[in-house]
Amino acid sequence: MNERVVQAGRHRIFLTETGAGPAVLLLHGGGPGASGMPTYSANIDALAKQFRVIVPDLPGYGRSSKTIDQSDPFGSLAEAVRGVLDALSLESASLVGNSYGGSAALRLALDTPSRVDRLVLMGPGGIGTAKSLPTRGLRRLLGYYPEPSREKLATFIREYLVFDGSSVSDAMLDERYRASLDPEVIANPPLRRPSSLKTLRRMDFTLDRRLRTLDVPTLVLWGVKDRVNRPSGGTTLARTMPNCDLMLFGNTGHWVQWECADRFNSMVAEFIGSAA
């Protein structure tokens, strides 16, 4: 695997690359201590058999720069991912995004659809969020800072992020907790409550008229036991987007790519590979 830092517009982005073939970017979620490689540890090797797999740390996370435009968070993330494509001289790529990363992928596709070959979205945020109260899981997530603790992180991950909390090891929790203590992140959390109604509405994709005409082939994967982002968001996307398929996973929470890794790897490889 090749690790490096690229300048993606105003963001410095750390990324890892492996494999060969059509380019696929794996975009992680926004939970405390998240980063690219651990999020997709069960998927990278399988997908790299067919694709050039690129795994960045999104702005605010891991070893990337920590600044995000809080007046338009999804737009800021999309800008960074588009900057990664530019830095790697890629005209386009397929984007696979979980939660916050799914929001970044969808926003990039809406802003510049020619840069996206195919979309795979796992429990993305921003689907009807301006019209309903946040879930208990999302409230837990948004309340992690400014006083982080391992107990708060363990409760969020084991009780809200996955269906079977016993599947999450103490070692994984320890790694995430250490990463969540970055002083820059504590001082400036990348994922926080919207600062204004305008920002909240900007972060709700169902209020964006472009969603109805976005014809990028899209596969939405959602765990029916997701306690962070409501599974009904998957039906909303499938009904709204003209070229969107939906698959629901039983006894699965917010981490489809981790909780159902084998099925996920097979479905994503087939979906993205069919474009070749």
Decide if 254 is catalytic: yes
pLDDT for position 198: 82
List the catalytic residue out of 254, 255, 265, 268: 254
Whole-angstrom distance, CA of residue 239 vs CA of residue 222:
15
pLDDT in tens, 73-104: 999 999 999 999 999 999 999 999 999 999 99
Residue ranges for the chain with pLDDT beneath 70? 275-276
- In this structure, how many other beta carbons lie within 10 angstroms of the beta carbon of residue 91? 10
pLDDT for position 276: 57
pLDDT for position 197: 76
In sequence order, what DSSP letters do the residues of 224-240 get, joined into one string? TT-SSS-THHHHHHHHH
Domains and CATH numbers, the chain: 2-273 (3.40.50.1820)
Residues in contact with 86: Cβ distance below 8 Å, sequence separation at least 6, in sequence order: 8, 9
pLDDT in tens, 144-167: 999 999 999 999 999 999 999 999
Residues in contact with 57: Cβ distance below 8 Å, sequence separation at least 6, in sequence order: 13, 14, 15, 28, 35, 36, 63, 64
pLDDT for position 214: 98
Residue with tokens 């209020």: 207
